[in-house]
Amino acid sequence: MVHDVHQVRSFEHPGAGRKRAKATPKGRQVDPTAAHEIELLLGDRPRRRDLLIEHLHLIQDHYGHLSAAHLAALAQEMKLALTEVYEVATFYTMFNLRPVGRYLLQACTTTPCWLRGSDAVVQACRSKLGIDVGGTTADGLFTLVEVECLGACVNAPILQVNDDFYEDLDAPATEALLDALRNGKAPLPGSVIGRQGSEPVSGRTTLVEPGAGSVGG
């Protein structure tokens, strides 16, 4: 059925036909200071979408976390929707959307670590630092979070401190580690009981003789 043109127009919005001011999408108002900081931080780097994770790392390494202002500025700089940036920033647990302590303690509590005593490691952190999981100490030195598998199950339980792994921990070893960090003397990362690689706790059972296993040996 053909409608009379006047009848069709009667259903239009009362403001139809008027020129509307261009609206800025909600959440895209970018702080000029943050925009300038992101521009300087990226420098001459290309703004390709496949470099988004790298750019997020760059921001976090510089500012300690990913602030809302800098994420919005990055989205504008890379000509991406803000949701695209947040999809990546919230997917990976390595990105922090709020400030964290100087030492980010990531306690693995997945099954292998749990079977090897991760509960004792987490409790040692809680007791020693006076914070719960997700908390940050008053001096801003430590933040404690609980994470899924860190991929070092054979040397469980694991506590990742920033980018370093501390393995084969128990409660006393965890407390000693925290004391050392508080004193600014971070121990060498790796197994706290001296295990090399993924050898058994009791020591190697193969390739124990010099030259064993070498070609032609």
Q: What is the pLDDT of residues 7-41, one digit of tens each?
A: 433 333 333 444 433 433 444 578 999 999 999 99
Would you say residue 143 lies in a domain? yes
Cα–Cα–Cα angle for 169, 174, 179, nearest 5°?
150
Return the closest-CA partner of residue 66 out of 51, 44, 81, 85: 85
- Rounded to the nearest integer, the mean pLDDT of the chain is 85
| pLDDT score, position 157 | 96
| pLDDT score, position 214 | 56
State whether 144 and 184 are in the same domain.
yes
Most confident of 30-34, 44-48, 141-145: 141-145
C-alpha R_g of the chain: 26
| pLDDT score, position 6 | 43
State whether 150 and 182 are in the same domain.
yes
Would you say residue 135 lies in a domain? yes
Helix then strand count (H, E) for the chain reads 8, 5
State whether 132 and 173 are in the same domain.
yes
State whether 122 and 182 are in the same domain.
yes
Q: What is the pTM of this model?
A: 0.73
- For 86, the domain range is 32-91
* Domains identified in the chain, total number: 2
**CA 24 to chain centroid:** 30
Q: Is 131 left (phi over 0), alpha (psi -120 to 50) or beta?
A: beta
Band the pLDDT of 106: cuts 50, 70, 90.
very high
State whether 127 and 153 are in the same domain.
yes
| pLDDT score, position 159 | 97
Strand pairing of 164-167 and 142-147?
unpaired
Distances from the Cα of 191 to the Cα of 4, 148, 196, angstroms: 82, 19, 7
State whether 141 and 178 are in the same domain.
yes
Task: Give the pLDDT confidence of 112-139 residue by residue, as tens digits.
Answer: 999 999 999 999 999 999 999 999 999 9
Residues linked to residue 216 through DSSP beta bridges, in sequence order: none
State whether 60 and 121 are in the same domain.
no
Domain end point (choices 60, 91, 122): 91
State whether 185 and 123 are in the same domain.
yes
Q: Any idea what the CATH number is for the domain that residue 176 is in?
A: 3.40.30.10
State whether 83 and 107 are in the same domain.
no
Q: What is the mean pLDDT of residues 142-151?
A: 93
Would you say residue 161 lies in a domain? yes
Q: What whole-number percentage of the chain has pLDDT above 70?
A: 84
| pLDDT score, position 72 | 95
